[in-house]
Structure 1
Amino acid sequence: RFVLVGRTVAPPPATGADKTSLVVELPDDHPGALLEMLEQFATRGINLSLLASRPIGDSLGRYRFVIDADGHIQDERMADALMGLRRFSPKVIFLGSYPRADRSIVRYSHRYADDVFVEARDWLRGLLSGEPGV
């Protein structure tokens, strides 16, 4: 499905009509493991257009998931989701962020807008520096 030719390069700039592709390995087989992975996207309002499981083959119950998610790595919500995935699983392979084939603009509810994520991060930084937590 994917071919990598050449050296690592930065993803193209975000267009607003983007997709990000990943491979994520569940760290272990336990009840709720898949839910924990999917929550990284759901709590940030990111739609998944592809979720396919592939057995790893080294032991029973171990899987990798191929994921296509609406959005670009430069989007605050996607960057936050990728950080959450990395904390959840040390085996996250970033395949790329790129324009969607249909060029359809990705729409989000206001509560998932980039400026909301930036404001929340700034609020937390303020708390850490001793500002009032209003």
Structure 2
Amino acid sequence: MTKVDLINEEFKLAAHRIIARLIKLDPSLLEKARKKISTMEEKHGEVDFILEWKEILSKDSIFDIQKELTSRDEDNYRLRISSPFNTMSFPPFDSEAYRRRIWKAAKRLVEDRLNRLEGDKLCHDHRFGPR
């Protein structure tokens, strides 16, 4: 996975964390997401990601939906790529400047992690490497 892929994954996770909070304040966002999924289903048919999103968005509890949106498990990383929220326009995500700020924060986070991993590798190599 490239650095840009990692940044994009962190961006989507951060965005969905914000969306999870917004849903609690404005549950109508869920209905908009359900309509978006229906539109996607008309265009693409009953493909796996659409069926999975329909299942997530049909949960009775907002808390359960929020858990799915913000989960770090591999399936949810994959699903965030095709999230109905990605193409919806609503505040604050209708602002390009806002989206850029989130992406830049995701970039800093990934770069910090990669630098720490590289530092750990150098420390490890120094302590246990060939002499």
Considering the TM-score relative to the shorter chain, is it more than 0.5?
A: no
Rg larger in 1 or in 2? Answer: 2
TM-score (norm 2): 0.32
TM-score (norm 1): 0.31
**Which structure has the highest strand share of the two?**
1
**Which structure has the highest helix share of the two?**
2
